[in-house]
């Protein structure tokens, strides 16, 4: 039976990945800062699916707490078969107004933390000759969108390279590039539903995004873009002038 470790598992896409993977029979390791939310989700998954559930309460920007997650990911006696790097935060797009230390934390969470966890996972996975790594990126990776787009662009580029190098050895790497998804992500930025500045047709729901990306993960695709509308946008945006795409990217948060 496979074991999946999911970061940012207390809510949003992370919780949905946990639900869908558990429904497929995988044991899950839930990682996030919110102990109460993790324990509630763990109880639900055990009751609904009868799978094994571990809870690791950790702030991934704290070195010692991140080390505990790295240790679990690299545990050869209790291997992780699927690593889902989902933890993330959002910031206002006005870089010059943001506190630089907050920006650095934003960069570390979106790029350094997944890089460390991927590195920890690869050794045991390559030894076994199998494993899957899924990195939650964003459609923002394809457009100029402050440091968020830049951070997500890195994870997409790295995922594509890693998949080419490691897939022949049994370990696939997939970057998920969803667009705007109905979760609590925007609410945490102080934007209640309906006040995000995004047209209704651009919104996706979490179950659809997760199920589509898990299908692409199973197929070994290096980039997963759930929904036709965002597939079209991902191809169109790089053809447009930066000034125009940066202006488009400023819509919403």
Q: How far is CA 193 from CA 100, 103, 203, in A?
A: 28, 25, 11
Contact 114, 133 (CB under 8 A): no
Of 43, 47, 94, 87, residue with least CA distance to 65: 87
State the residue for tokens 């980039």: 223
Q: What residues have CB less than 8 Å from 232, skipping those under 6 apart?
A: none
State the residue for tokens 């609904």: 48
Catalytic residue among 17, 148, 166, 230: 148
Gyration radius of the chain's alpha carbons: 17
Contact 237, 245 (CB under 8 A): yes
Q: Is the dihedral of CA 211, 215, 220, 225 positive or negative?
A: negative
| Known active-site residue 148 | yes
Compute φ and ψ for 248, nearest 5 degrees. Answer: -60, -40
Residues 79, 81: Cα–Cα separation, whole Å: 6
- Rounded (10°) CA dihedral 162, 71, 29, 110: -50
- Rounded (10°) CA dihedral 100, 101, 103, 104: 120
- Catalytic sites, residue numbers: 148
């Amino acid at each position: 039976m496979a074991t999946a470790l999911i970061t940012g598992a207390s809510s949003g896409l992370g919780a949905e990945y946990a639900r869908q993977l558990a429904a497929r029979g995988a044991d899950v390791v839930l990682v996030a800062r919110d102990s109460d939310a993790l324990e509630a989700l763990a109880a639900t998954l055990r009751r609904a699916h009868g799978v094994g559930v571990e809870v690791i309460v950790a702030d991934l920007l704290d070195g010692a707490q991140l080390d505990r997650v790295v240790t679990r990911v690299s545990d050869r006696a209790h291997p992780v078969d699927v690593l889902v790097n989902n933890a993330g935060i959002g910031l206002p797009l006005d870089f010059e107004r943001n506190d630089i230390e907050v920006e650095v934390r934003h960069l570390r969470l979106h790029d350094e933390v997944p890089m460390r966890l991927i590195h920890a996972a690869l050794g045991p996975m390559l030894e076994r000759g199998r494993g899957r790594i899924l990195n939650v990126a964003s459609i923002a990776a394809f457009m100029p969108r402050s440091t968020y787009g830049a951070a997500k662009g890195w994870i997409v580029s790295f995922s594509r390279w890693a998949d080419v190098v490691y897939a022949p050895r049994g370990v696939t790497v997939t970057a998920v590039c969803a667009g705007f998804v109905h979760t609590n992500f925007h609410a945490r930025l102080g934007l209640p539903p309906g006040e995000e500045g995004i047209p209704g047709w651009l919104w996706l729901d979490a179950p659809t995004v997760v199920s589509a990306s898990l299908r692409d993960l199973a197929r070994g695709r290096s980039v997963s873009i759930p929904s036709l509308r965002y597939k079209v946008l991902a191809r169109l945006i790089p053809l447009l002038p930066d000034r125009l795409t940066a202006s488009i990217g400023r819509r919403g948060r």
